[in-house]
Amino acid sequence: MSENIRIASSRLSAEISPFGAELRALRDGQGRDLLWDGDPAWWTGRAPILFPVIGVLNGGVYRIDGVAHPMPKHGFARHSDFAVAALAADMVALRLTDSEATRAVWPFAFTLDLIYTIAAATLTMEAVVTNADARPMPASFGYHPALRWPLPYDGSRAAHRIRFAEAEPDPVRRIDGEGLLRPDRLPTPIVGDTLALDDSLFVDDALILDSVRSRRLHFGAPGVEGLDVTFDDLPTLALWTKPGAPYLCIEPWQGIADPQAYAGDIVDKPGIVTIAPGESRRFTMTIALSAPEPA
């Protein structure tokens, strides 16, 4: 596996692997871990990159012009070697281009650039998907970072919460036992702008906000330091852990798992964007150290 690349400021440091362009470590200026360490007792992932699909496909295939193509859960980017396109003390740019291996499952020419930058107390993760093909390219993209729960400050796990930038009254979605999107919408557990975190929220897997109004949230316990997360370019948010695990995944997505029994063309799938030949789409997420929120 490729050696991790470290970038840093005086207040934050990150390690990124060229394999999957995955964030592998995130630490504050005192060296305290903010990102999950991939302990296989719970989950070996840390912050996989989801492209060109999100979640599970019905029957493990997607369709273009009526032809079925196999594709693994969350796509192939997370299992691909990226090239280092640029590197500095506070920035690394990684690039994946189409190859014989990718074209075997995704018949498009493309580039996927992941640019990680640290400025002061903020990590910015920027993805640029470029269609290098002669025809329009459908795609989804998502981030999947697992943050420590509890964070390494003084707040207890039970005190941790998510405070959204806006009230979030809309119903939420769930997936079924096969990982496919259920048709029903359920009452939100968010009260106003606040979600009190509890393992019971995740007994039925991820909590999916497919009509999230906020593009910014705060994660942590009141009265102590926490993290601010933004996701301006991504319209869906999933929250996930395995009940009892010491991490919480905060996952902004452009896209979603296949609805149950979905058999249509991928271009018609909910959440898919279509990128014109020669055009690009940009998806950005930031994680920043935050001052304590009031108790």
**For residue 295, what pLDDT is reported?**
74
List the end-to-end C-alpha distance of the chain, in Å, as a whole number.
44
Is 100 part of any domain?
Answer: yes
Phi-psi region of 154 (alpha: psi -120 to 50; beta: other; left: phi over 0): alpha
- Inside any domain, residue 271: yes
* Alpha-carbon gap, residue 128 to 280, rounded angstroms: 6
Nearest partner of 238 among 191, 271, 274, 280, judged by Cα: 271
Establish if 71 belongs to a structural domain: yes
Tens of pLDDT along the chain (295 residues) come to 579 999 999 999 999 999 999 999 999 999 999 999 999 999 999 999 999 999 999 999 999 988 999 999 999 999 999 999 999 999 999 999 999 999 999 999 999 999 999 999 999 999 999 999 999 999 999 999 999 999 999 999 999 999 999 999 999 999 999 999 999 999 999 999 999 999 999 999 999 999 999 999 999 999 999 999 999 999 999 999 999 999 999 999 999 999 999 999 999 999 999 999 999 999 999 999 998 888 7
Instruction: Judge whether 84 lies within some domain.
Output: yes
Please indicate, yes or no, if residue 239 is contained in any of the structural domains: yes
Q: What pLDDT, on a 0 to 100 scale, did the predictor assign at position 36?
A: 97
Confidence (pLDDT) at 139:
97
- Tell me whether residue 56 is in a domain: yes
Looking up residue 143, the CATH number of its domain turns out to be 2.70.98.10
Predicted pLDDT at 105: 93
Tell me what pLDDT residue 234 has. Answer: 97
Q: Which domain holds residue 75?
A: 5-290
Rg value, the chain, Cα: 19
Question: pLDDT value at position 292?
Answer: 86
103: helix, strand or coil: helix
* Sign of the CA dihedral with 216 first, then 157, 11, and 19 last: negative
pLDDT of amino acid 33: 98
Domain count, the chain: 1
Residue 295 in domain: no
Q: Tell me, what's the pLDDT at 293? A: 84
Between CA 291 and CA 127 the distance in angstroms is: 27
Is there a domain that residue 226 lies in?
A: yes
Between strands 216-220 and 141-143, the pairing is unpaired
Question: Is the model's pTM score more than 0.95?
Answer: yes
DSSP state of 44: S
| Confidence (pLDDT) at 40 | 95
Please give the C-alpha separations between residue 4 and each of 82, 97, 134, 202, 232, in angstroms, as whole numbers: 12, 20, 35, 31, 27
What pLDDT sits at residue 2? 74
pLDDT at 294: 81
Give the pLDDT confidence score for residue 164 in this predicted structure: 98
